[in-house]
Amino acid sequence: MKYDVIIIGAGVAGCATALALKKVNKDLHIAIMERSASAENTFKIGETLPPQASKQFQNLGIWEAFLACNFSSSYGTSSVWGSHTVYTNEYIFSPYGYGWNLDRNAFDQFMIKQAKEKGVEVYWNTSCIHSHRENEQWILACENNHDKLLLNTSFVVDATGKKAAFSALQGTEKIKKDKQVGVYRFYDLKQANTTDIKEGIVVETDANGWWYSATLPNQKLVLGYLTDSDIASNLKMKVTSHFEDQLQQTAITATRVATLSDTTTPFLVAAQTQYLKSCVGEGWLAVGDAASSYDPISSLGIYKALVMSQWASFAIQDFLKKERIGLRKYQNLVTHDFEVYEKKRKEFYQQESRFSNTLFWKRRHENNV
């Protein structure tokens, strides 16, 4: 099969790029390749969207469809960061209104559905085993349910997340800025007294990292501890009793989950800041977390994917017209966005000075991580 564009990865970045391309040129023949069997029951962290995401959905032409999903509203974040005082950042002051708490599984399925409705083909259970480029075409040797499959395309989009799998095959260097991980658990809200559990997001620092908790639309609460991988290992955070011991040292977070039943044992997810030295090449580019991944404290992962997909669509359209300047512009946009993020991240971590002598915070302050 021959396509104009093949996107590797059916997450938000991959689907949004397909939608953005269809908005630029509805006649493009586009396929998404995904190694998992479906979008269902695929665990992903990323449960909130800021108010300004509304503009991106409008740009992609899926705003009304998104509203029809009826995701619950998010009115801001409460944080204990830099002092013992609870600070609330309310979206009420945003010109875009409120944000959203996402059922991530439902949101990912929504994005896939929107792409398919625009004529994008989706190959599930499919992995790219080998690739080479000849005569201005990529030839992708793929495996689909243990069957061999050859796909041809003019352009490849790497939307494989932090793995940046296709980009790695092209020899581009991945720059990791830290060793941060998230150790997560889910709690059940079905039996909880809703008056005791305030909806929304709560962030709270401690000596070895910071806690994140958020209520979800599916009557769950997610709790995460963000620290560096070596610290998580030393604290044995994947052991339930050690996780609980660390949790009990918090002022607010422990109280929030005190009456809840946990539904999972602690599990670890990569949460490092990283970027590709080059996120473009001859006939390919990386998008979303494959191009650059941000600290979860930014709450920008999904939003960034929506924005970046539109930048990518214009670069790809230029390339298909035999113009290379679009790829250079895309690289510059991604680089500039990362530099702005890095500056803001540094400033935010500098606000917490109570634990300056501990390893996690020393790294953020001294190394400008």
Q: Dump pLDDT digits (tens) for 318-364.
A: 999 999 999 999 999 999 999 999 999 999 999 999 999 999 999 99
Q: Please classify residue 171 by burial: count the beta carbons closer than 10 Å to its beta carbon, then call 0-12 exposed, 13-18 middle and 19+ buried.
A: exposed
What CA–CA distances, in Å, run from 176 to 75, 180, 237, 295? 32, 10, 22, 12
Could you tell me the two tokens for 91? Answer: 């979206």
Q: Using the predicted structure, report yes or no on whether residue 80 has a pLDDT greater than 80.
A: yes
The span from the CA of 294 to the CA of 346, in Å, is 12
What CA–CA distances, in Å, run from 133 to 86, 144, 281? 55, 21, 11
Q: Dump pLDDT digits (tens) for 221-255.
A: 999 999 999 999 999 999 999 999 999 999 899 99
What CA–CA distances, in Å, run from 270 to 115, 229, 353? 28, 9, 25
Domain positions in the chain are: 2-73+102-177+274-346, 180-270
Q: Dump pLDDT digits (tens) for 169-195.
A: 999 999 999 999 999 999 998 876 655
Considering the domain 180-270, what is its CATH architecture?
A: 2-Layer Sandwich (3.30)
Report whether 154 contacts 136 (CB < 8 A): yes
Instruction: Give the angle subtended at the CA of 117 by the CAs of 115 and 118, to the nearest 5°.
Output: 65
Q: What is the pLDDT of residue 99?
A: 86
CATH of region 2-73+102-177+274-346: 3.50.50.60
Report whether 221 contacts 186 (CB < 8 A): yes
The span from the CA of 318 to the CA of 71, in Å, is 36
**Shared fold status for 2-73+102-177+274-346 and 180-270:** no
- pLDDT over 90 percentage in the chain: 76
Q: Mind spelling out the 3-state secondary structure of 262-292?
A: ECCCCEEEECCCEEECCCEECCEEECHHHCE
